[in-house]
Amino acid sequence: MLWLKNARVVDPAQGISGIRDVFVRDGRILMIGRSIPTDRLTDGGEPETLDCAGKYLFPGLVDAHVHLREPGQEYKEDIASGSRAAVRGGVTSLICMANTSPVIDSQALVAFVARQGRRAGLAHVYPAAAVTKGMAGEELTEMAELKASGAIAFSDDGRGVQNGEIMRLALEYAKLTGCPVVSHCEDAALAGKGVMRRGRASAALGLAGMPGAAESAMAARDVLLAGETGGKLHLAHVSTRGTLAALRAGKAAGWDVTAEVNPHHLILTDEDVPLTNSAFKVNPPLPSAEDRDALLLALADGTIDMLASDHAPHAWEEKARPFAEAPFGMTALETALPAIWTYLVQPGKLSVERLVDAFARRPAERFALEAGTLRPGMPADMVLFDPEYQEIVTASDMASKSVNTPFLGRTLRGYPVKTWVGGHLVFERPAAV
């Protein structure tokens, strides 16, 4: 039994934003209220109490886009280390992508990932399975059986499904499962050899640029296919105004389309890319300032449904290369929430309510996970968040095996200080207690 007192609870699913007490029993939320009558709490012994004054209590974050690299690339990350990184960042449920080695395209592999997640015993790990066998973009996976083994979404994330007919069929066939098809929108021909967004910054650095249409042309295609099929589409990591236009059109037409945005696309732009720091190399690439501003507005107004980290760990030696030769991707599980707080919430660009809505409630709803709210009866997945706590992002502190984050060396303010999963304390920030 756990009694959290005087926390600033933010739980958009219940319309709560204010000082509350929260009572946890048997791993689930029992009660939430302004003051909990003590006579109702004493059945079964003395509860552990924690005074949370000055701190926020959020439902555990739900990260719809994570790369945990297991099986096959455990030198970058594995499910255990990724789970530690998740709870350190306040993430208690995550969806891990299928572009491992081998690709998650069979029942056994889906079950393996789910089992490794349970063995790690920290965050809830939900596998996404591939849309096409081997992510080759040619034949659909056995979606019904994959779902039965635990897949909760289908995605060829890491590359776009180039063949429009295959994507159309995927949206049709996935109806058998009720799971969304997640689209990594990237037209390979348009993207070419680009390593950052095409624009003045890429021209000045002499780095090959990929035009915004490399993303938005496929996003528009997939939105139209969702409309025509009635399928369930989720757009991963949207980063251009063109994609937002397609998304708005699809939503206005009443089609079943959602989208996520990554924190780094809301905070950094192509002008921030240093020629010799490949931690800033990510796909989709960092946006123009105009795109970045439009993304933030679209997140605030709900056009973009949710936040997701796109945590993409890579080993030091893979990133310690000239920009064009390094792999795409940033680690983000441990920095997403502090970075959003520092750069978006603190300056008043994003409300704390919308933050929790977008990073917990909406992804849980979209992927039908038992998470994202502190409603009585729900698992007690919770984050105690200190808005004043500051820390310099330091490689040696990371729980992730990789440290390829552009925020390295920056001071961020606003960190999770305790994380519970199913009522168990799974993370405590040492210096903050």
Partner 1 sequence: MNWPRKDLLDIAALSAEEIEIILDTAVSMKEVLTRPVKKLPTLRGKAVAMLFYETSTRTRSSFETAAKILGADTSSLAVAQSSVSKGESLLDTAKTLAAMNIDLLVVRHAASGAPQFLAERLPLGVINAGDGQHAHPTQALLDVYSMREKWGGVTGRKIVIVGDVLHSRVARSNALCLTKLGAEVVLVGPPTLLPPEMDYLGVRLSYDFDRELAGADGVMALRLQLERQQSGLFPSLREYNRLYGLTRERMARAGKECLVLHPGPMNRGVEIMSDVADSPQSVIETQVTNGVAVRMALIYLLLSGGAVDAVA
- The catalytic site residues sit at 310
- Residue bearing tokens 């919770």: 382
Least gap, CB of 316 to partner 1 (angstroms):
11
- Residue bearing tokens 């008043």: 348
User: Toward partner 1, which CB reaches closer, 271 or 388?
Assistant: 271
Report the chain's terminal Cα–Cα distance, integer Å: 20
Pairing of strands 2-11, 48-51: parallel
Distance CA 276, CA 206 (A): 12
Least gap, CB of 208 to partner 1 (angstroms):
7
DSSP of 241-282, one letter per residue?
HHHHHHHHHHHHTT--EEEEE-HHHHH--GGG--TT-GGG--
Least gap, CB of 409 to partner 1 (angstroms):
14
DSSP of 40-68, one letter per residue?
GT-TTSPPEEEE-TT-EEEEPEEEEEE--
Query: Interface with partner 1 includes 341 (CB under 8 A)?
Result: no
Query: Interface with partner 1 includes 188 (CB under 8 A)?
Result: no
66 bridge partner residues: 96, 311
Binding mask 199-238 for partner 1 (x = CB under 8 A): xxxxxxxxxxx-----------------------------
Stretch that binds partner 1, among 81-89, 140-148, 198-206, 377-385 (CB under 8 A): 198-206
Cβ–Cβ under 8 Å, residues 124 and 371: yes
Q: How many residues bind partner 1 (CB under 8 A)?
A: 21
Least gap, CB of 336 to partner 1 (angstroms):
27
Least gap, CB of 345 to partner 1 (angstroms):
33
Please pick, from the candidates 121, 178, 322, 409, the single residue that binds partner 1 as defined by CB under 8 A: 322
Please pick, from the candidates 198, 221, 232, 361, the single residue that binds partner 1 as defined by CB under 8 A: 198
Which residues in 253-312 contact partner 1 (CB under 8 A)? 275-276
Query: Interface with partner 1 includes 323 (CB under 8 A)?
Result: yes
Please pick, from the candidates 321, 390, 392, 409, the single residue that binds partner 1 as defined by CB under 8 A: 321
Stretch that binds partner 1, among 117-125, 163-171, 304-312, 322-330 (CB under 8 A): 322-330
Sign of CA dihedral 172, 173, 178, 184: negative
Least gap, CB of 317 to partner 1 (angstroms):
7
User: Toward partner 1, which CB reaches closer, 90 or 211?
Assistant: 211
Query: Interface with partner 1 includes 325 (CB under 8 A)?
Result: yes
Query: Interface with partner 1 includes 139 (CB under 8 A)?
Result: no
Distance CA 210, CA 187 (A): 10
Stretch that binds partner 1, among 31-39, 195-203, 297-305, 369-377 (CB under 8 A): 195-203
Please pick, from the candidates 39, 317, 348, 433, the single residue that binds partner 1 as defined by CB under 8 A: 317
309 bridge partner residues: none
User: Toward partner 1, which CB reaches closer, 109 or 201?
Assistant: 201
Structure tokens at 413: 């303010």
Structure tokens at 324: 């064009």
Least gap, CB of 298 to partner 1 (angstroms):
24
Using CA atoms, how far residue 327 sits from 29, 314, 331, in Å, is 42, 8, 12
* DSSP conformation class of 357: I
Binding mask 33-52 for partner 1 (x = CB under 8 A): --------------------
* Angle in degrees, 0-180, between the axes of helices 213-229 and 241-252, rounded to the nearest 10: 10
Sign of CA dihedral 391, 395, 398, 404: positive
Q: Note the residues at the interface with partner 1 (CB under 8 A).
A: 198-209, 275-276, 317, 320-325
